[in-house]
Amino acid sequence: MSTLGEVNLSSYLPLMVVVLMAATFAAINIVGTLLIGPKRPGKTKGLTYESGMNPVGTARKRFNVRFYLIAMVFLVFDVEIVFLYPWAATYPNLAMSDPDRVIWFWRILFFLFTTVVAYVYGYRKGVFRFD
Amino acid sequence: MSATLLVILTLLPLAGAAVLALRPEGQARTVALWTTLLALGAAGVAMVQFRWDHGADMQGVGRLEWAPSLGLSLSVGADSVAMLLIGLTALLGPICVYASFTAIEHRRRTYYGWLLVLQSAMTGVFCARDLVLFYTCFEFTLVPMYILISLYGSTNRKKAATKFFLYTFTGSVLTLAGLLFVVWFNATQLVPTDGPGAGKWTFDIGALQHAAVRMSSGQQAWVLAAMMAGFAVKVPLFPLHTWLPLAHTEAPTAGSVILAGVLLKLGTYGMYRFVLPFVPSAVVEYAPFLAVLCIMGIVYAGLICWVQEDVKKLVAYSSVSHLGFCILGMVALNQIGLAGSVLYMVNHGLSTGALFLLIGMMYERYHTRSMREVGGLAAKMPIWATFMVFFAMASVALPGLNGFVSEFMCLMGAFQADSEFVRAGQVGATRGVLGPVYAAVAGTGIIVAAMYLLMMVGKMCFGPLREPHAHHAHESHAPPVLPPDLSAREIVILLPLAALCLVLGLYPRPVLQTLEAPTTRAVDWVWEHAGVRGAPLAPQGGRP
Amino acid sequence: MIERLSLLYPEIVLFLGACLVMVIGLSPKREVRSLCGFASAGSLLIAGLLAINTSAGNTTPLPGLLPYVKAILAGVGLLLVLLLSGVVDRRDEEEIAAGRRAFSAMRSNRAEFHAFFLFSLMGAMLCATADDLIWLFLALELTSLPTYVMVAVSTRGTRAQEAGVKYFFLGALGAGIFLYGFALLYGGTGSTNLAQIARELARQGAAGDINPIAMAGLMLAVVGVSFKIAAVPMHFYTPDVYQGAAAPVSAMLAFVPKTAGFVTILTLVSCAGWSYGFVDGRDVYGAGFALPAELRIALWVIAALTMTVGNVMAVLQTSIKRMLGYSSVAHSGYMLVGVLAGAAAGEESGYSFAQSGVAAVLFYLLVYGVGNLGAFAVLASMERRNPDGELVEADEFGDVRGLCRSSPLAGWTMVLSALSLLGLPPLLGFFGKFGLFSAGIAAGDYALVVILGLNSAIAAFYYLRLVAVSLLDEPQGSTYAPTTILARPLAGAVSALGVIVLIAFAEPLMQAATKAGRVAPMTLGVSPEGVRRAQTTELPEPGTGDRGAPSGAPAPEGEHDGAGH
């Protein structure tokens, strides 16, 4: 057990180096383009970047609520993968005799159950119906 | 007398209220009257069975565990002081119900139901031997009274009811804090060898009494202050009395009677039961201070009475003045003063209660309480005037009537209570911290009382007949037919009170005899535990 | 590990219930949809029964909290289910029943509403189970997040949405504050495990100086959590949110997050004080108070201000909901007196309910929950149609005028609830307040007890107004009629009955609260090696073995205590 006052900060040195490197890289890029980049301003260049499309209308345009629903359903599956992958990667490493093995198995099943419930809920809510 | 009887006495009105709630509106009066009469009968049985010659002992003691976690139990018992007040409560019950027969015309069930609940709570206060039971009943009296005033009172009733509730509730919350401190002290600062119940979380009044006297004098002073915050409001003692005139004036007749007759006695009884035995050393120390407050109340309230034009307010202020005598006798800390004080509680209940009844009867006929509008009623209502003069005299403390005995004893107690005189070997002096000066100043209160009460009698009963204009009298909807003078019902209401006033005035000996033992014990307890101030005095100390 | 899972059974049941409700609430069949409430109630009932039979935990300084808190949450939760019926989709259902339009899963909110309700209760239960700061944080947020939505959707008006947004932003601020506090607490003690934190703080206390970072963290955490209990300085949302939300939802807000908040505060404070104030018979923090001075002063000031601000503001209100909102603030202040008192005195000899502030707080939570629910239930069961055809609940004092005569059940519910909240003997509220009083006195905090007393008197003013208006006034000019949803007055009636009937069961309830409020005794081995390493017999090391096992033999005196039986 250690408190903040007692922690040996030197063990965080590599982290500091990484942070410094990242900051320096960003700074160099920004300052470099400012200094050496050619500057040819134009109307199109001044526009908001919208994935290559011309920005028309108000920025507060309403999207169909279905987009959000789909985004959320996507999240359900995305998060599922995020958890499933590391689980699958580590589970085989547990020894067969390890008593925790059963728990880890049931835990992931429980997790899958929750995603199934989320799926059923989404289905009933009509997320997958495009009419 | 058994504990069962006390419990029955307490619960009977409550049961009556429950029955009443289930019966139709029309039967409310009958049910209420029978319930209170039954309770009066039960109280009669209890008083017959009570062994008055052992007045200092708790009788009818019973105990039922309730919530041991909090140390709560339902524990009852009564000594002769409590028994007298129980009797007073039971007596005023049917009187109040019967007196309301014509006055209350709407929402009768609510009215009589709460009246009965109130009686239950008041009886519970006097029966309780457990702090929490005591406090529960003590607090619960507020609700029925609040409702009675704010529903059935006169013009300003809402304000009066709220003021009454807030004053008394604020005070008694502090009382609770003080009492809880004693409980805590008993539970944690003492060990079982210190006495019965010590070192345990208990609310038994008897056990706490032994524990409380072990508190340091500083602690006792704070506990005294906390307790008095509640009891002094209830009594009411001088600077805290301002709720009383308003509440009395606005309350319906029966409400005023109960307020004056019993509710104010909850404060004095609380002082007798808790302040004296719990914090003797602080009482001895602060008795002069309390006495000064009493005297200020006696004189100041008396002077206010003098200028009142509202007759009900006059009687209300006279209560403040009278109860000053009662507390003065108590803080004299000798037997005669304390006995006088207890007797005063009963006497004040009888005579002031009767005065409120009389004013109520007059009000029902004329719908005004102003002495400017009504007067000289002896010409029209001779019976009423007779009773009025009689009870006013009882209130003035005319020798031969009850008020005299108790007022005299209270003043006597204050007069004798001077330890200096004992040291000087004066005959009849008792140890105490007051003395002739206190008694003399308080004595002027008697003169003031005579002035304002005689003035009231003079204006109300004698002189040329004055009646309010006809339209004033009939402005309310079709008044019930009342005879010009008192009806038989009203005479029946007043007669028992008048009889008791006379009996207690002419032959108070039995009551004083039974009060001797408990008051002696209480006074001895105080001086025994008063610390340095209670140290034995030199030559011939003792009671007269 | 599997054994410890049994502590979570109630939460698991609620979770499964929420899953079920979420699915069946979206059924196109009306009969199936209407099963939602029953499913919620059923899962709460099972959870409650399981909670009662849960053995006490053994991983936090307050091991007994678990069964008690979960049981009262489930109990009051059952009443809340009754009260919440018809909150979100009443008008939709009416239209569907009348055949004016078809059921649309997209528009229906019932499934989410009930599921959120169960999730919130589950979060509150988890707060009692949590033995780690991270758990605690997640549990607190699980309690609050669903309530933000519940407030916003509870009625159709813009007021509810405003309330929801306000509640959400302030809630997020509160969460940020206590999360920062948790982080600092970790920084100052080197652990997120509550038992470890307790041991570390006790060690630091015994050594004479508590790490200021840890202390700052503790205080920030308490201040942040005071949002959940609606205490000063995070109380500003209370009246607006209570008024904006539908009355049943307000009733829930006054109980569920409050319970979660108090459980959290008790847990956090227990890590820093009370029994550890007297380590090995030595008065660590001085002055006889078993809390570090900084924390004590902070809590004292918060308690005094909360009571006073709540009560004074409540007096000024004309809306009953706002008044109840401010009174909710005040009640939190009362309970903080119990938190301050803690398990200060007499733990060795005759430890009883009357001396334990923790037990008093826990008991008061139940008392307040029941009483408060009654008052809100009355508001929820009186309604009228406004010109747009929307149903509006009673809110102003005038709306309940003469209620005892016009609809006696609702009226008497209001009277009893108000009197119980006021703490009038012999109703249930009195016992709750009595416990707080006696605990405060037992802890020697007389000034605070006097403030508590005076505040009770102020509270009398507005509660009596409520009683007077509904009991004494004549019914006139009120266009409000009893609701057609019978479950709401039923919930009110049950809670009104509760404040009377529970008096008879006050003893077992207090015993349960006492058991729940018992602090696991800690002995700090001051061995010749020095006071560097704290040891305990009661607080086991967490499962991960890399933090250093306790050294030294267990002290014998703690063997039999603390598990709460």
| Shortest alpha-carbon distance between residue B229 and chain C (Å) | 12
C142: distance to nearest CA of chain B, Å? 35
Query: CA C180 to CA C196: how far, in whole Å?
Result: 19
How deeply is B462 buried, as exposed, middle or buried, from its count of CB atoms within 10 A (0-12, 13-18, 19+)?
A: middle
Please answer whether residues A87 and A108 qualify as being in contact, where contact means their C-beta atoms are separated by less than 8 angstroms: yes
Please report how many Cα atoms fall inside a 13 Å half-sphere around the Cα of residue A25, on the Cβ side.
6
CB contact under 8 A, B70 and C510: yes
Q: Return the structure tokens found at C151.
A: 């407030």
| Cβ contact A3–C106 (<8 Å) | no
Residue C464 to residue B132, Cβ atoms within 8 A: no
Neighbour subunits, A (≥3 Cβ pairs < 8 A): C
Q: Which residue shows structure tokens 């029994």?
A: C275
- Domain assignment of residue B419, yes or no: yes
Put simply, the answer to whether B173 touches C511 (Cβ < 8 Å) is no
Q: Using alpha carbons, list the distances in angstroms from residue A93 to A100, A108, C42, C389, C545.
A: 12, 15, 41, 64, 20
In chain B, positions 175-194, which contact chain C (CB-CB < 8 Å)? Answer: 176-177, 180-181, 183-184, 187-188
Contact predicate B240/B172, CB 8 Å: no
The verdict on a CB contact (< 8 Å) between C190 and A125 is: no
CB pairs under 8 A between B and C: 107
Angstrom distance (rounded) from CA B512 to CA B343: 8
Within-domain flag for B499: yes
- Burial-class residue C565 by CB neighbours within 10 Å (0-12, 13-18, 19+): exposed
Give the one of C1, C105, C200 whose C-beta lies nearest to A124's C-beta: C105
Residue of B nearest to C349 (CA): B188
pLDDT at C65: 85
**Does residue B80 lie in a domain region?**
no
Nearest C-alpha in C relative to A106? C2
Report yes or no: B398 at the C interface, CB cutoff 8 Å.
no
Q: Which of C13, C106, C122, C546 to mutate to test the interface with A (most CBs of A within 10 A)?
A: C106
Q: Does C416 touch chain A (CB under 8 A)?
A: no
Judging contact as 3 or more Cβ pairs under 8 Å, the answer for A and C is yes
Nearest neighbour of C450 by CB, restricted to B174, B183, B201: B174
Query: Is residue B396 assigned to a domain?
Result: yes
d(CA C553, CA C525) in angstroms, rounded, equals: 9
Q: How many Cβ atoms are within 10 Å of B398's Cβ, its own excluded? A: 16
Phi, psi of C384 (to 5 degrees): -145, 160
Residue pLDDT tens, chain B, 544 long? 788 888 888 889 988 888 888 888 788 888 888 999 999 999 999 888 888 888 788 887 888 877 777 777 788 888 888 989 999 999 998 999 888 888 887 888 888 888 999 999 999 999 988 888 898 889 888 888 988 888 888 888 888 888 888 888 888 888 988 888 888 888 777 777 777 777 777 888 888 888 888 888 888 999 999 999 999 998 888 888 889 888 988 888 888 999 988 999 999 999 999 999 899 889 988 999 999 999 999 999 999 998 888 899 999 999 999 999 999 999 988 888 999 999 999 999 999 999 999 999 888 888 888 888 888 888 888 888 999 999 999 988 888 888 888 999 999 898 888 887 777 777 777 888 888 889 889 989 888 988 999 999 988 888 888 887 654 444 455 455 677 788 888 888 899 999 999 998 888 888 888 888 889 888 888 888 887 666 666 554 444 4
The answer to whether the Cβ–Cβ distance between C213 and A120 falls below 8 Å is no
Alpha-carbon distance of C489 to C226, in angstroms, equals 31
Q: What are residue B128's phi and psi, to 5 degrees?
A: -70, 135
Alpha-carbon gap: B136 to the closest alpha carbon of chain C (Å): 5
pLDDT, chain B, mean: 85
Q: Is C453 near chain B, with CB under 8 Å?
A: yes
Domain-located, residue B36: no
Within a domain: residue B350?
yes
CA dist B290 and B304 (Å) reads 21
Give the side-chain half-sphere CA count within 13 A for C106: 10
The rounded radius of gyration (Å) of the Cα atoms in chain C is 23
Q: What is the pTM of this model?
A: 0.79
C425–B174 CB contact, under 8 Å: no
Q: What are the pLDDT digits (tens) for C424-438?
A: 877 899 889 988 988
Boundaries of domain holding B424: 286-468+485-544
Q: CA–CA separation, B368 vs B309, rounded Å?
A: 11
Question: Mutating which of A68, A103, A121 best tests the C interface, going by the most C Cβ atoms within 10 A?
Answer: A121
Q: DSSP readout, C166-200?
A: HHHHHHHHHHHHHHHHHHHHHHHHS-SBHHHHHHH
Within-domain flag for B494: yes
* Residues shown for chain B: 544
Number of structural domains found in chain B? 1
Residue C8, SS3 per DSSP: helix
Tell whether B239 is covered by a domain.
no
Query: Which residues fall within 8 angstroms of residue B507, CB to CB, at 6 or more apart?
Result: none
- A1 → closest Cβ in C27, C196, C213: C196
Across the interface, which of A2, A5, A100 has its CB nearest the CB of C1?
A: A100
Judged on CB neighbours under 10 Å (0-12, 13-18, 19+), A120 is middle
